[in-house]
Amino acid sequence: MTAAPLLVLVGPTAAGKSAVALAVAEAVGGEIVSADSVQVYRGVDLGSAKPTAAEQARVRHHCIDLADPTEQLDAATWAAAADAAIADARARGRVPIVCGGTGLYVRALLHGLTDLPDPPPDVRDAVRADLAARGPAALHAELAAVDPQAAARVPPTDPQRITRALEVYRATGRPLSAWQADHGFRPRRYDAHVVGLWPDRDVLRARIYARARAMLASGWPDEVRALLARGVPPDAPPLRALGYREVVAHVLGHLPAADLPDAVARGHWQYARRQLTWFRGITTREDALVHHEPGAPDLVARLSRTASEPAP
């Protein structure tokens, strides 16, 4: 473990994490390590709520713009980049603050990734053939029958994670969630204060719907048009991400403009509910998450003090 504690801010989309992280970083001489699986892609900015040029001028940000949108960047690659960013910030006397809502990234950073057996090629080929023949929704239903915990964390629209979980189950006869539960007993890679930020559910839902409209008004469809015009395929990894797939459908003429804001907001709200389940769960699991209301008037002062305290 490292000697200095790490401040990790997590929570659902639109909870206000980035604004709090920015203020705390300015207060303590910190730098932000983004734990967002869409912000890692270059040119994918508006729909990922990537920090603006002005925000990056105020506080240095790491782990954004790591890959082209045609590439697939996994949690292991992100965690290696985050390790390097944390070490670099500390070497310069800065305080690294990890901030984001991608639970797998945070888990990979704090605990490493689960050592899973590599499924045999015949199992992998069979699962992918099933995906092509039956579609992701049918495979998600199959996953729910054999590994309900994994299925609850994976949306039916995420074929990559669905097939991975089914590959593990078919190859080993053991659910992916069981492998991950065993892995949870490993010691942390970092001493850390894990802080969860989310408001009341009704407040969060209203924020999500307002932010979806604001993102669309700021030119999100034009950003997607520019990516497609550059030759980025509509099924590129970031364009399959939450919100982006709805905007892609609109740009390609499959979703009317009048229906787009609600479609984006509904998807974000469903994702936020899954994030809340995940992050509330680690309140009592190995990471001892402490929840704070993001709108509390003394929050920045409290977290600034926390950043210098020994980790639990």
Which pLDDT belongs to residue 1?
42
Which pLDDT belongs to residue 28?
96
| pLDDT, mean over the chain | 91
Which pLDDT belongs to residue 5?
84
| Rounded Cα–Cα distance for residues 86 and 117 (Å) | 30
Q: What is the pLDDT of residues 195-249, one digit of tens each?
A: 999 999 999 999 999 999 999 999 999 999 999 999 999 999 999 998 999 999 9
Give mean pLDDT, residues 177-203.
Answer: 83
Residue 186 pLDDT > 90: no
Query: How many C-beta neighbours within 10 Å does residue 159 have?
Result: 19
Highest mean pLDDT among 103-107, 172-176, 211-215, 277-281: 211-215
Closest alpha carbon to 9 in 36, 46, 44: 36
Model confidence band, residue 86 (pLDDT cutoffs 50, 70, 90):
very high
Write down the residue that tokens 């700021």 correspond to. 218
Which pLDDT belongs to residue 152?
86
Angle between helices 159-172 and 121-134 (to 10 degrees): 140
Q: What is the pLDDT of residues 116-160, one digit of tens each?
A: 778 888 988 999 999 989 998 999 999 999 999 889 878 887 888
Which pLDDT belongs to residue 310?
84
Question: Which tokens go with 45?
Answer: 């900015």
Contact status, residue 97 vs residue 31, Cβ threshold 8 Å? yes
Which pLDDT belongs to residue 248?
98
Answering whether pTM is above 0.85, one says no
